[in-house]
Amino acid sequence: MTTSAHGRPPLLTTLAMCLCVTLVVGMVSAVNLAIPDLSAGELHPSAEAVVWVVDGYVVLFACLLVPAGALADRRGRKGTLMCGMGVFTLGAVICAAAPHVSVLIAGRMISGIGAAAVLPTTLALLVDGLSDRPRRRAIAVWASMTGLAAVLGNVGGGAALQFGTWRTLFLCLIPLALAALLLVAAAAPATARHPRPAAPLGSLLLTAGFLALLYGIVSAPQSGWSDPAVLGPLAAAALLLTAWARHELRAAHPLLDPRLFARPAVRAGALGMAALFTGMFGLFYLNGQYLQYAKGYGPFGAGVRLLPMAVALLAGPRCGLLLERVCGRRGTVVVGMLVLAGGLCTVSAADARTPYALYALGAGLTALGCGIATPLLSHTMMAALPPDRAGTGSGLQSLAREVGSALGIAVTGTLTTAVFTARLPAPLAGPGHPTTVAAAWARTTDAELHAAVIDAFTAGLHTATLALAAAIALVAVAVARWIPAGR
């Protein structure tokens, strides 16, 4: 039995899937709060190494989502999920014991490989065998958890760092991951396999293409978008993804048929979710820095002050259901995206003298918009695909989220750093200028210069959040054209 008598997933199964989602998505955001402690710690990482400690996980996570979802469809979803949680836990063990920063990065990448097998499989297991209404409810729960997990990652990560070091973050993760693995073993249903020939070349081209794309995106804030080290991978990504599309169009059993994107619902879902998570993770990139540097809170205090986002994410799906009765699916998704853009505009007004309540309002609106639109976009994509491709479809929408997350961090980091360095006070400007608040503060003890550095940072925050809001509003127009208008 994969569902209860009420046509819903059993409660224990839902809890197991939610715990898995919380762990793998929460580790995208939790490590951001560890950057100051890691940078000052015994590993002495370079600025580039710190970037890869954070984003090495995201890159492998995103690149392998579709192949992992397809593998789960072919070989069994429960087994794939358990293997993924095992690899994720192994990566956490390596990170906790890492004697060198290169080992830490390798551990993060191993965890990312495991996470790629976890995220799409959780949704495929939740919706297996459900009729439309319970299926929509299960998707709404899962979609809400993917956003909520990022907030919980900040809170949990902040607590671990407040009372320990960056290693404590990974040590606390290990027992939680083992508990999730045992819960999956006990509660997850064994679903039918859908045997199809493997697609090794399609998997290789797709993975390599997105690996090159995300490498270029992640490297851009450090190297600059015009640097050959960025343009080269982006050009390689274009070539590899073009080769993948041509191969899949000729394949008898494609990994992910590009013709699926001819369906407006699939295009709307993928583009909409990428835009939503670009905005959300752009804000997550700024949250910790603003609350710690501009407002003076510690890591745990900063994490706790993001809880309004968690409340808004939980309220979002219910608001979406009410709006859908009035506005229909299309109108509700557009409203959600515009609410998110409005939240970013509110955050853009923040500086060191702004009351926390105003910042919390902007962050809450950003999360509320994501909570309203994400479940509908997710359900629209899943409904457009046959049931035997649930793992592949879940992998596709998870890929859209992770690409959006990486793009949000990269674009926000680029814009914030560019404005920050341009606005630095004269004693700190010039050749070899600092590119972070911590580095600028380390060069002076003057209180007025410290305040000027914070003003330069909040000017960068203003530019980045307004740019994200404008981009999301434009994407909402395209999504409105493609998404089905029904209720």
Identify whether residues 260 and 227 lie together within a single domain. no
Identify whether residues 240 and 137 lie together within a single domain. no
Q: What is the pLDDT along the chain (487 residues), one digit of tens a residue?
A: 444 444 555 778 888 888 998 899 888 778 877 777 787 778 878 766 777 887 788 888 877 887 887 777 777 788 889 999 999 999 999 999 999 989 999 999 999 999 988 988 888 787 776 676 777 777 777 877 777 787 788 788 888 888 888 899 899 999 999 999 998 888 877 766 656 655 678 778 888 888 888 788 777 766 777 888 889 999 999 999 999 889 888 887 777 778 878 888 888 888 999 999 999 989 988 888 898 889 988 878 888 888 898 889 888 888 988 998 888 889 999 999 999 999 999 999 999 999 999 999 999 999 999 999 988 888 888 777 766 665 566 667 777 887 888 788 878 888 888 898 888 888 888 777 777 787 788 788 888 888 999 999 999 999 999 999 999 999 999 999 988 776 5
Flag whether 6 is in a domain: no
Identify whether residues 473 and 348 lie together within a single domain. yes
Identify whether residues 268 and 394 lie together within a single domain. yes
Q: What is the pLDDT of residue 100?
A: 92
Flag whether 3 is in a domain: no
Q: What is the pLDDT of residue 461?
A: 94
What residues make up the domain containing 236? 200-252
Flag whether 2 is in a domain: no
Q: Please report, for the domain that includes residue 333, its CATH number.
A: 1.20.1250.20
Distance in angstroms (rounded) separating the CA atoms of residues 18 and 184: 11
Identify whether residues 206 and 185 lie together within a single domain. no
Q: What is the pLDDT of residue 198?
A: 58
Flag whether 159 is in a domain: yes
Identify whether residues 175 and 113 lie together within a single domain. yes
Last residue of a domain, one of 189, 220, 252: 252
Identify whether residues 226 and 149 lie together within a single domain. no
Number of domains comprising the chain: 2
Identify whether residues 331 and 389 lie together within a single domain. yes
Flag whether 106 is in a domain: yes
Q: What is the pLDDT of residue 195?
A: 62
Last residue of a domain, one of 252, 270, 296: 252
